Amino acid sequence: MRSIKQPGAAVAERIQWVEARGRAFSFTLAAGLPLLEAARRGLAAEGFAGGVLNFSGGALGPFGYVMPALSKTGENAAFYSETFRPAGITRTKLGSMTLGTRDGAPFFHCHGLWTEADGRAGGGHMLPDETVVAEPFEVHAFGLDGAMFTAEPDPETNFKLFGPVAAASTGARATSRAFALRLRPNQDFAGCLEEFCRAHGIVRAKIHGGVGSTIGARFDHGGVTKPFATELAITAGAIAPADSGALEAALDVALIDYTGGIAEGRLIRGGNPVLMTMELVLEALD
C-alpha cells in the first residue's frame, strides 16, 4: 500500500476513539453569521457542544480557504497553500465539518467543493475566521454527548489536529450509540473502519461527518487521483455485512488534490491510505 513518511514517529494507537451518545438532526444556518458561529448555535440549540455536519447547496461570502500544497520546509509531509478569498458569493456543492474546540474556543475543520461567483469550480479547506453564511441553508448534523473533538499537537504529523477526547455530558437528548474517531496516517481507510467495527461488536454503522486526507485516491469507477496530497470530505458512508458475511465499508467521498484536480466517487476498499488524519463519527445501528 502507498505510504508517506511523516516527520515524527508513529504512535502505537492508530485509531483514536471515544465512545459516546449522539443524535442526528437538521437545522438551518443563519445568514450574516460566521459559519463557525452559525454551526455552533445550531448544535447548541439541541444541547450539544460539538459534533459533525454535512451539507450540500449553501452560500458563503465573504469566504476564505486554502488548498492542499507541498511542504516548502520539510517540517510536514504536506502543507497548505496561500489563502484564497474569492469575490462575491460562493455556492457550495458539498461539505463536511467537524465542530469542536481549539485553544479553549469553538473551532471547526471543514472540507468541501464549491463554485465561485465567476463560475470557477474549487475546493479545499474552509477557514473558520474568514467564512460567513451569505444566505440561510440547511445542514445535517450529528451532535455528540460525552465526547468532543479537540485540537491538540500531533508529533507524528507535526500539525495541531482534531482528535476525540472524553467530555462531560451536557444532558442533550442522545438516542444512539456513537463513536468519535480519528484515523492516523498510512493505514487503509476502509480497512480501519471494518476492523474497528469487528473489534467493538458493531454489525452495522452509519458514518456522519468525515473530514481528512488520503494519499491520492482509487475509486471503484476506475478513476485515480495520483497527486498524493488531498483534502477530502465524506459525502456518504456505511459499514455493513457483505454477502459473504464479512463487514465492508462503503465510502463515498469528494476531494481536491494539490494540483487542483477534483474527484468524486466510492473509494476502493484496501487501496486508500490516510495521509494526515480522518475524523468522523460512527453511529452504531445494531
Task: Give residue-wise pLDDT tens across range 162-188.
Answer: 999 999 999 999 999 999 999 999 999
**Nearest residue to 140 via CA among 210, 56, 60, 61:** 56
* Residue 145 and residue 172 in contact, taking contact as beta carbons nearer than 8 Å: yes
* Residue 212 and residue 56 in contact, taking contact as beta carbons nearer than 8 Å: no
Please report, rounded to a whole number, the percentage of residues in the chain having pLDDT higher than 90: 99
Confidence of residue 146 (pLDDT cuts 50, 70, 90): very high
The fold of 21-143 is: 60s Ribosomal Protein L30; Chain: A; (3.30.1330)
At 196, which helix (H) or strand (E)?
Answer: helix 189-199
Is residue 191 helix, strand or coil? helix
Q: Is 56 exposed, middle or buried (0-12, 13-18, 19+ CB in 10 A)?
A: middle
Is residue 154 helix, strand or coil? strand
Cell 438516542 maps to which residue?
A: 175
DSSP strands (E only) in the chain = 15-29, 50-55, 58-60, 65-66, 68-69, 79-80, 90-102, 105-115, 121-126, 133-135, 137-145, 147-154, 159-166, 176-183, 205-218, 224-241, 247-257, 262-266, 274-284
> What residues does each domain of the chain span?
21-143, 178-284
pLDDT in tens, 24-79: 999 999 999 999 999 999 999 999 999 999 999 999 999 999 999 999 999 999 99
Mean of per-residue pLDDT scores for the chain: 97
pLDDT above 90 for 1: no
> Measured in whole angstroms, how far is the alpha carbon of residue 101 from the centre of its chain?
15
Domain 178-284 architecture: 2-Layer Sandwich (3.30)
Domain 21-143 and domain 178-284, same fold? Reply is yes
| pLDDT for the residue 286 | 84
pLDDT in tens, 64-88: 999 999 999 999 999 999 999 999 9
Is residue 189 helix, strand or coil? helix
CA-CA distance, 68 to 230, in Å (whole number)?
Answer: 6
Neighbours of 260 (CB within 10 A): 14
pLDDT above 90 for 233: yes
Going 197 to 53 to 79 to 165, the CA torsion angle's sign is negative
pTM metric for this prediction: 0.97
| Residue count (the chain) | 286
CA-CA distance, 231 to 124, in Å (whole number)?
Answer: 6
Neighbours of 184 (CB within 10 A): 22
Please compute the mean of the pLDDT values over residues 111-131 and round it to a whole number.
98
| pLDDT for the residue 31 | 98
- Please tell me whether the peptide bond between 164 and the residue prior to it is cis, using omega within 30 degrees of 0: no
